[in-house]
A and B are shown apart, each in its own frame.
Chain A
């Protein structure tokens, strides 16, 4: 119930009570309430819980998180570890 996954808004309309949207979760679409994300537009990615969008994902922040890769790469360089090679040799449990 609490594993809200991100989906993309593909359509927006108003019903008698609130703003609604159609959200695409990688091919599966659902009708969700946009009552709590008044700023949301078609094309935005939202986190949805039990039929309600609770946030619009922030592209800039998302990029910043991913820029961590570069940051960690730099760190490894400073430590003299191969930026690419090292990570692949760790035995994995992550698919």
Chain B
């Protein structure tokens, strides 16, 4: 497949890794923001091929992981109503709420449906005029344009039996929160290629300058990631802190204007709670007033009294901010496994705990046995 195989070319990746080995003189800690990149790194063993001085820590870029518990519990309460058809991306179904997950709601007779695209949910609403269809609109900037389009289209069609439960988050405020944490160890970032495909990377330029931190826009294949790491290490070794684009086949500085237009039309920035991390100012989107009719939180306003209860064992917040790695969690691989997840990062296809479990990184890096 074009644009895929050539970016998995092992010889080429090894050449870049050799160059990284050659230029690295000191310990450096780099964070990849995106959970998709975390999985690619572990799947291809890049973490084990880098010089031992380089530590990759994993960022908060897993939409399923950071969706706050109170919204999962709201989703569960809404999905349990007999008049509701609840539509969600598949990953959300097994994310533990305070008492149960959406999968359990489905098993108990709730009409919970997995959709591939938010437009599928709109279609279901059209086909079921006597039911209320609620779509769980989660995600980063990448899924914001599709989710915005679903709401926009529903309004154009005058669909009344459709609403979205919005839990949108955005990357730049999270980078600021990570850098301003007193526990921060991150010295350079791999920025998420597809978030930047939508938003561009101009927003990162003042951050690189203000915090003196290199930020390299990076794709998802082994070659892309190796190249992103090389560019960050080069900057760190030379004392530079700039934004570079290592994913130019998809990303332009200004991003995708058409996609940004619909985000601005439908959403506005708001403060957002990140699961395990807490409130980050202006780090999310909510529906603008003209689209408030489609806001499931308003349509189901009686749900506001939900009390949430997080597993006391889960250290997902520290994992998501790069302070700790999954094997540092006492529950990892014992009480918390993909079959019995205690926290969202063990569920999601983009969660760091699931990636460590799946690719056999069961011990902290110092004592890691290659498997």
The answer to whether A3 and B220 touch across the interface, beta carbons within 8 angstroms, is yes
Task: Please state if B13 and A94 are interface contacts (CB–CB under 8 Å).
Answer: yes
Task: Decide if B49 touches A94 in the complex (CB within 8 Å).
Answer: yes
* Known A2-B350, A36-B259: A55·B250 in contact at CB below 8 Å: yes
CB-based nearest A residue for B348: A1
Residues of chain A contacted by B251 (CB below 8 angstroms): 55
Report B36 CB to chain A, min CB distance, Å: 4
A-side contacts of B18, CB under 8 Å: 76, 81, 86-87, 90
In whole angstroms, how far apart are the Cα atoms of A59 and B231 in the complex? 22
The segment from B145-153, B283-291, B295-303 that touches chain A is: B145-153
B3 adjacent to A65 (CB under 8 Å)? no
In the bound assembly, the distance between CA atoms of A1 and B142 in angstroms comes to 9
B188: CB under 8 A from chain A? no
What per-residue 1/0 map shows which CB atoms of A27-64 lie under 8 Å from chain B? 00000010111100000010101111011011101101
Interface residues of B in 10-65 (CB under 8 A from A): 10-19, 22, 34-36, 39, 44-46, 48-49, 61, 63-64
Contact with B along A1-12 (1 / 0, CB 8 A): 111111010000
A36 CA / B18 CA spacing, docked (Å): 39
Q: Given the complex of chains A and B, what is the CA–CA distance between A3 and B220 in angstroms?
A: 8
Contact flag A50-B116 (CB < 8 Å), given A2-B194, A26-B1? yes
Q: B345 contacts the other chain (Cβ, under 8 Å)?
A: no
Chain A residue at minimum C-beta to C-beta distance from B19: A72
How many residues on B have C-beta within 8 angstroms of the other chain's C-beta atoms? 66
Nearest chain A residue, comparing its CB with the CB of B3: A6
Complex contacts, A94 vs chain B, CB 8 Å: 8, 10, 13-14, 44-46, 49, 222
In the complex, what distance in Å separates the CA atom of A83 from the CA atom of B143?
42
A94 CA / B4 CA spacing, docked (Å): 14
Q: Mark B321-365, 1 if CB is under 8 A from A, else 0.
A: 000000000000000000000000000011000000000000000
* Interface size band for A: 35 or more
B83 CB–A CB distance under 8 Å: no
Question: Is there contact, CB below 8 Å, between A68 and B12?
Answer: yes
Q: Are A2 and B34 in contact (CB under 8 A)?
A: yes
Whether the Cβ atoms of B48 and A93 lie closer than 8 Å is yes
A68 touches B146 (CB 8 A): no
State which of A1, A61, A76 has its C-beta within 8 Å of the C-beta of B89. Answer: A1
Instruction: Tell me which residues across on chain B come within 8 A of A95, comparing CB atoms.
Output: 8, 10, 44
Question: Can you sample 30 A-B contacts with CB below 8 Å?
Answer: A1-B350, A2-B139, A2-B140, A2-B350, A8-B2, A36-B256, A36-B258, A38-B258, A49-B142, A49-B146, A50-B143, A51-B116, A54-B259, A55-B197, A55-B250, A57-B249, A58-B248, A65-B249, A68-B227, A72-B12, A72-B15, A72-B19, A73-B15, A75-B19, A79-B22, A87-B14, A93-B44, A93-B48, A94-B10, A94-B14
Interface pairs A-B: 9 shortest CB-CB = A93-B45, A51-B117, A61-B248, A6-B3, A87-B14, A62-B249, A26-B1, A61-B249, A36-B259
